[in-house]
Amino acid sequence: MAVIEDHSLFAESLEIALEMEGHDVRRIVLPEGGRSVHTLLPIIMRAKPRVALLDLDLGTYGNGGRLVEPLTLAGVNVVVVTSSIDRGRWGECVRYGARKILPKSSPLNDILATIRRITEGLPVMTQDEREELLKHWHAQVQEIQLIRSRLENLTHRESQVLAQLMDGRAVREIARMSVVSEATVRTQVKSILSKLEVSSQLAAVGCAHHVGWAPAGA
């Protein structure tokens, strides 16, 4: 069994509890300075785990959810143990093969019981639970598609302004850098807000970050 977790204390607690239950556990140590979660896959697979307890947020490695599908395809039973409360994100993990999603606030006995049922070949998620999480994922996918379609309606200049807002620049600084008046930039910002159907610069920046948007050529 593999524990893939960037918080050492939590990982060690799981390791100790599982070993006391009689499981052969290997905690996957994440090398410092990692940039891609996919570089962890060969490290995990060398442990030849039947079950993997996977965190969704792996520090500099990013989104652990991207490991769900390749681990599942390799025959590993993936149980996500996460502090994320984003049920759309949970649904995505289920979509790509996760057997169960458990919040880190779950009693330790719930995690142990889940592992026990998996090793006994028993189901760990009801059909209703699975469908509910997939419903959240589908809704999230539709939301992202809608935001992306709105972002595509921005002009080249509006895209540049939004990118500068995402970098934390104020309207005055954007105007100075672009050698235009503040009134011109404010008009462009107003157009951006209208096209994205949001009421503030902060919301516009949030939308762009939410869908991983970057201007063309960036």
* pTM over cut 0.85: no
Give, to the nearest 10 degrees, the angle between helix 171-178 and helix 182-196.
Answer: 120
Contact 82, 55 (CB under 8 A): yes
204 has a pLDDT exceeding 80: yes
The single-letter code of the amino acid at 87 is R
Average pLDDT over residues 168-183: 95
Q: What is the pLDDT of residues 99-110, one digit of tens each?
A: 999 999 999 899
List the beta strands (DSSP E) in the chain: 2-4, 26-28, 51-54, 77-82, 100-103
* Structural domains of the chain, with CATH: 2-138 (3.40.50.2300), 152-210 (1.10.10.10)
Lowest mean pLDDT among 19-28, 76-85, 189-198: 19-28
185 has a pLDDT exceeding 90: yes
pLDDT attached to residue 8:
87
Bridge partner list, 82: 103
pLDDT attached to residue 33:
76
Q: What is the DSSP letter of 167?
A: T
Quick one: pLDDT band at residue 70, thresholds 50, 70, 90?
Answer: very high
CA distance 67 to 42: 11
Query: CA dist 29 to 3, 4, 84, 104, 113, Å?
Result: 9, 8, 21, 19, 25
